[in-house]
């Protein structure tokens, strides 16, 4: 290379002298700005006028120019992609084909712009369209409305990338495509996300704005109710919709359409028939399966994708013990069955990105239509006047046809003939003369005056009408309104997405009525809930009803009367506590055994239920009092347990050989009463027990003789009597005040005489005469009896028969059922 360049004056300039120094920061800023604007204008954002990005516009125009119209046959997509890439869009073929395929997909566009044959993909991102050599396409009928008037100079054309072709800078777009089909795009530093809408609603709003230019967004929302997604589903609430339409930005919740089907003789099912926009059946099914495996979702037996057979259809089979409403609510919470759509109504206005409200978007569209109809009218007026000028010449020609023929025959060539026609006596214009010369002699002789006069009358009417349109803004807007109405009536279809009230973040209890239930746990670790009405009140000494179908050597050892909305604190034998809601315990028939508790809580193989407590809240002044079989007592603030962890919390630090017996809520102003298996009871003030944290073991509450153990412990309630029940079915009521207050750590006093025949104490609790008691036997037989039917006796009395037991049966659990809960 020569070290110098010859300048125009014959001198030379060195390369170094030709270099212009530029600051790096300045060059980077300029280059990045040029790049970002190129991406924004030429690739990523749609034009507010036709709602199309350049690639979509070029695809549609190329197919229009090549004649791939709705009334023609399909052509290979590979051919279309090649034509677009070669003439208008010098980018990768995959980008062009992806854009083409999206315009075919009825799950992406509310009104697809291209009709296709073959596999153009599915909502599942993993299922893309087939290769373009396999698929076929042609323009959809509604696309012709985007191109209507394209050959009437309604829009500007520009050279293509190499100057060999011209292409429209925007399409006439005879309907508001940007809102009807929406748009998505990511530019440099900005993105657009415009949801699709119902064509009828959008056109009605456009017409209203045409008639009422001062209309507000609120006025237009009388017509445009909200987005109308091609996949249907629900939009929850209207506040997000209003934000989108008024500010151009906002978020809306989308929820799948699902139905709970109760099948006779089989488990319930949840049938999903419509899914949120931009989700897929495959994604939802896979997510449900993963969450079931991870034990995040309970109550689901199987998930079946039946979409190919009946349209969108996901069948979720539930387990027999599942609550369908709770399962459905959890599906909405944890899977794409409920999603959010964040809208950003960003589009190009005069090649500048703008965030647009509903009103401004329709206003810009109307401005575009005013220009399109004006330019079309000007074009048609010019053509009508040109044709009228020719028809006028032909009418004159007919009157002097013989002279015209003679003048043409006597001419040497066409130029001389044209000159004669343009001069006296004819005085035709050049255009008229050329048109006459282009006609054959036979055509000249057959021209009918009546036909030409009829055409002239129509041309005069057309010219007058077009001049009126161009001279009156109201008339021009009436034309736009009429044409929009025709398109609306031709292509409208019912709304697919329904707008419903937003229930908010529904908790499970919002879907379940708060009602009394009885929760029962067996010794082998089965748990169930059932309505308290399942047990009829019986007289003392009755045989009861079957309350649970036991496995061999199994027995019910925990029973608690609570409500579906109450918290259940389940304390395990290893000193841990788990928190669940009452409705989370599976509901079973009275005679059913229940479900293994390991299906509900993460118990390990050596863990079992030690105690269950129910509460509606966690007040600061209340404390949990723990009573162990070895007589230990611990007091911890109740609010320490107001938290949830799937693997549980440490509740008490149990010493070796000890186990948890009872847990109850109390304050320092209360007394506690502990009851032992051998009939002893001790009452002491809880203020003597220092409050400690969760991971502590407590202090001595009751001194036990050898072979004895604590079986129950409660907060003293002097407004009620104490009911003591033995494992042989005997029991009695005792005035609670008969138990004297003592210091903790003593042996206490007698509560009931025990013996091998009458049994040993299995439970003690506080009752009033109006209360009812559930007594459960080791075989699962349960009796519900009024507490007032059980005799009130002194501390040394033997008690009376409460339940009739068969041989080898024992009472395993006693629970309280207040009459007020019926």
pLDDT in tens, 397-411: 888 888 888 888 888
pLDDT category at 785 given cuts 50, 70, 90 is confident
Report whether pLDDT(129) > 90: yes
Beta bridge partners of 194: 183
52-172 is classed CATH 3.90.199.10: yes
Average pLDDT over residues 354-381: 96
Q: Confidence class of residue 553 from pLDDT cuts 50, 70 and 90?
A: very low
* pLDDT above 50: residue 818: no
Lowest mean pLDDT among 286-290, 436-440, 648-652: 436-440
> How far, rounded to the nearest angstrom, does the alpha carbon of residue 774 sit from its chain's CA centroid?
45
Strand order in the sheet with 556-563: 556-563, 516-522, 526-531, 595-596
pLDDT at 1 over 50: no
The answer to whether the CB of 630 falls within 8 A of the CB of 655 is yes
Annotated active-site positions, please? 134
Q: How is residue 66 written in tokens? A: 């090549």
Residue 143 φ then ψ, to 5°: -65, -30
Asked if residue 395 has pLDDT above 80, the reply is: yes
pLDDT at 103 over 90: yes
Residues 104 and 580: their CA atoms lie apart, in Å, by: 49
Query: Token match 């399942």: residue?
Result: 534
Query: In what helix (H) or strand (E) does residue 597 lie, and over which residues does it extend?
Result: none
Query: Are 97 and 81 spatial neighbours (Cβ–Cβ below 8 Å)?
Result: yes
> How many other β-carbons are positioned within 10 Å of the β-carbon of residue 379?
16
pLDDT at res. 644: 62
Contact status, residue 718 vs residue 737, Cβ threshold 8 Å? yes
> Which is nearest to 210 in space by CA: 346, 48, 359?
359
Residue 555 · residue 778 · CB < 8 Å:
yes
Chain center to CA of 810:
54
Tokens of 719: 């407004």
pLDDT band at 37 (very low <50, low <70, confident <90, very high): low
CB-based contact 589:530 (threshold 8 Å):
yes
Report the alpha-carbon distance of residue 718 to residue 304 in Å, rounded: 58
* Average pLDDT value for residue range 519-541: 71
Residues 294-311: what's their mean pLDDT?
A: 83
Q: Which residues pair with 340 in a beta bridge?
A: 253
Tell me if 682 sits within 8 A of 702, measured CB to CB: yes
Residue 511 has pLDDT above 70, yes or no: no
Cα gap 814→800, rounded to integer Å: 15
Distance CA 713, CA 178 (A): 72
737 conformational bin, left if phi > 0, alpha if psi -120 to 50, beta if neither: alpha
**DSSP code for 738:** G
> What's the token pair of residue 408?
């043409």
Contacts of 621 (CB under 8 A, 6+ apart): 667
Average pLDDT of span 613-629? 81
Residue 416 CA to residue 426 CA, distance in Å, equals 14
Residues 636-643 have a mean pLDDT of 82
- What is residue 485's three-state secondary structure? helix
Q: For residues 76-92, b (16+ Cβ closer than 10 Å) or e, as one string?
A: bbbbbbebbbebbbeee
Contact (Cβ atoms closer than 8 angstroms) between residue 767 and residue 816: yes
Which of the pair, 540 or 19, is modelled with greater confidence?
19
Quickly state the pLDDT bin for 563 (edges 50, 70, 90).
Answer: confident
ω into residue 446 within 30 of 0, thus cis?
A: no
DSSP secondary structure code for residue 120 in this structure: -
Give pLDDT tens digits for 722-758.
999 998 889 999 999 999 999 999 999 999 988 888 8
Q: Which two tokens stand for residue 340?
A: 């959010």
Other CB atoms within 10 Å distance of the CB of residue 108: 22
Nearest partner of 284 among 255, 252, 323, judged by Cα = 255
Task: Determine contact, residues 338/256, Cβ cutoff 8 Å.
Answer: yes
**What is the model's pLDDT at position 548?**
47
- Find out whether 746 and 784 touch, Cβ atoms under 8 Å: no
Mean pLDDT computed over 28-51? 70
pLDDT digits (tens, 9 = 90+) for 80-102: 999 999 999 888 899 999 999 99
Stretch among 161-170, 503-512, 711-720 having the lowest mean pLDDT: 503-512
Three-state DSSP class for residue 251: strand
- Give the pLDDT mean for 182-190: 79
Asked whether 764 and 675 are in contact (CB, 8 A), the reply is yes
Rounded to the nearest 5°, which phi and psi values hold at 116?
A: -130, 155
Nearest CA to 701 out of 632, 636, 768, 759 is that of: 632
Cα atoms in the Cβ-side hemisphere of radius 13 Å centred on 604: 7
H helices within 354-448, ranges in order? 358-399, 401-409, 414-422, 430-438, 441-446
Question: What percentage of the chain has pLDDT greater than the value 70?
Answer: 88
What dotted CATH number matches 513-821? 2.120.10.90
Instruction: Say which residue, 376 or 814, is predicted with more confidence.
Output: 376
pTM: 0.67
What's the CATH class of domain 257-336?
A: alpha beta
Q: Helix (H, G, I), strand (E, B), or coil: what is residue 389?
A: helix
Per domain, the residue ranges of the chain are: 52-172, 257-336, 513-821
Mean pLDDT of the chain: 86
The tokens of 762 are what? Answer: 């299995």
> Residue 19: what pLDDT?
78
Q: Does position 324 have pLDDT exceeding 50, yes or no? A: yes
Q: What is the largest CA-CA distance in the chain?
A: 151
Per the model's pLDDT, the better-predicted residue between 523 and 418 turns out to be 418
Task: Choose between 606 and 748: higher pLDDT.
Answer: 748
Q: Which of 184, 201, 204 is nearest to 192 (CA)?
A: 184
Q: What is the DSSP string of 577-626?
A: EEEEEGGGSPB--TT---EEGGGTS---TT--EEEEEEES---TT-EEEE
Cα(579)–Cα(572) distance, integer angstroms: 11
């Amino acid at each position: 290379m020569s070290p110098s360049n010859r300048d125009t004056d014959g001198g030379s300039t060195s390369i170094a002298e030709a270099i212009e120094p530029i600051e790096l920061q300045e060059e980077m800023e300029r280059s990045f700005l040029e790049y970002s604007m190129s991406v924004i204008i030429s690739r990523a954002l749609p034009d507010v006028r036709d709602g199309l990005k350049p690639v979509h516009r070029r695809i549609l125009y190329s197919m229009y120019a090549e004649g791939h119209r709705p009334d023609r046959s399909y052509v290979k997509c590979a051919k279309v992609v090649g034509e677009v890439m070669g003439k208008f869009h010098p980018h990768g073929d995959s980008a062009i084909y992806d854009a083409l395929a999206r315009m075919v997909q009825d799950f992406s566009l509310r009104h697809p712009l291209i009709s296709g044959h073959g596999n153009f993909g599915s909502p599942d991102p993993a299922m893309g369209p087939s290769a373009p050599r396999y698929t076929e396409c042609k323009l959809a009928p509604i696309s012709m409305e985007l191109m209507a008037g394209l050959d009437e100079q309604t829009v500007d054309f520009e050279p293509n990338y190499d100057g060999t072709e011209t292409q429209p800078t925007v399409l006439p777009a005879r309907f508001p495509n940007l809102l009807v089909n929406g748009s998505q795009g990511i530019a440099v530093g900005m993105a657009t996300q415009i949801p699709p809408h119902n064509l009828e609603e959008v056109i009605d709003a456009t017409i209203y704005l045409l008639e009422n230019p001062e209309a507000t967004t609120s006025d237009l929302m009388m017509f445009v109710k909200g987005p109308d997604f091609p996949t249907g589903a629900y939009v929850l609430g209207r506040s997000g919709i209003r934000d989108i339409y008024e500010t151009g930005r906002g978020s809306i919740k989308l929820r799948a359409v699902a139905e709970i089907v109760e099948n006779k003789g089989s488990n319930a099912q949840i049938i999903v028939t419509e899914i949120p926009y931009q989700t897929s059946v495959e994604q939802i099914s896979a997510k449900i399966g993963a969450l079931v495996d991870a034990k995040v979702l309970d109550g689901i037996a199987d998930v079946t994708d039946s979409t190919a057979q009946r349209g969108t259809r996901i069948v979720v089979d539930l387990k027999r013990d599942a609550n369908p409403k709770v399962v459905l609510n959890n599906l909405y919470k944890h899977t794409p069955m409920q999603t959010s759509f964040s809208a950003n109504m960003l589009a190009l206005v005069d090649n500048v990105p703008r965030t647009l409200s509903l009103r401004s978007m329709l206003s810009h569209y109307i401005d575009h239509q005013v220009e399109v109809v004006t330019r079309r009218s000007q074009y048609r007026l010019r053509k009508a006047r040109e044709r009228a000028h020719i028809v006028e010449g032909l009418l004159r020609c007919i009157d002097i046809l013989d002279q015209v023929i003679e003048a043409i025959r006597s001419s040497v060539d066409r130029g001389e003939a044209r000159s004669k026609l343009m001069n006296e006596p004819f005085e035709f214009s050049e255009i008229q003369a050329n048109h006459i010369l282009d006609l054959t002699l036979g055509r000249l002789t057959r021209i009918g005056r009546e036909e030409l006069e009829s055409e002239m009358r129509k041309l005069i009417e057309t010219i007058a009408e077009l001049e009126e349109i161009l001279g009156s803004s109201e008339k021009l807007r009436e034309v736009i309104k009429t044409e929009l109405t025709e398109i609306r009536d031709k292509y409208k279809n019912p709304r697919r997405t329904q707008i419903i009230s937003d229930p908010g973040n529904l908790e499970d209890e919002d879907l379940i009525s708060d009602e009394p239930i009885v929760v029962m746990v067996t010794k082998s670790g089965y748990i169930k809930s059932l309505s308290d009405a399942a047990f009829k009140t019986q007289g003392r000494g009755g045989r009861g009803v079957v309350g649970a179908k036991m496995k061999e050597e199994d027995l019910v050892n925990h029973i608690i009367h609570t409500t579906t909305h109450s918290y259940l604190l389940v304390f395990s034998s290893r000193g841990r506590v788990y928190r669940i809601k009452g409705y989370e315990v599976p509901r079973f028939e009275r005679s059913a055994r229940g479900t293994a508790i390991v299906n509900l809580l993460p118990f390990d193989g050596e863990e079992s239920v030690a105690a269950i407590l129910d509460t509606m809240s966690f007040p600061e002044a209340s404390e949990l009092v723990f009573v162990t079989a070895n007589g230990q007592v611990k007091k911890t603030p109740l609010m320490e347990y107001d938290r949830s962890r799937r693997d549980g919390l440490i509740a008490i630090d149990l010493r070796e050989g000890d186990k948890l017996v009872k847990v109850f809520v109390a304050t320092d102003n209360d007394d506690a009463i502990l009851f032992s298996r051998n009939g002893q009871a001790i009452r002491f003030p809880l203020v003597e027990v220092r409050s400690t944290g969760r991971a502590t073991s407590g202090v001595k509450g009751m001194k036990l003789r050898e072979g004895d153990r604590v079986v129950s412990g409660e907060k003293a309630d002097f407004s009620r009597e104490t009911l003591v029940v033995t494992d042989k079915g005997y029991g009695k009521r005792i005035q609670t005040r008969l138990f004297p207050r003592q210091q903790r750590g003593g042996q206490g006093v007698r509560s009931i005489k025990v013996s091998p025949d009458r049994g040993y104490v299995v439970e003690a609790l506080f009752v009033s005469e109006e209360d009812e008691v559930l007594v459960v036997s080791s075989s699962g037989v349960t009796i519900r009896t009024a507490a007032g039917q059980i005799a009130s006796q002194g501390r040394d009395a033997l008690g009376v028969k409460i339940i009739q037991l068969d041989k080898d049966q024992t009472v395993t659990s006693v629970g309280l059922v207040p009459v007020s809960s019926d």
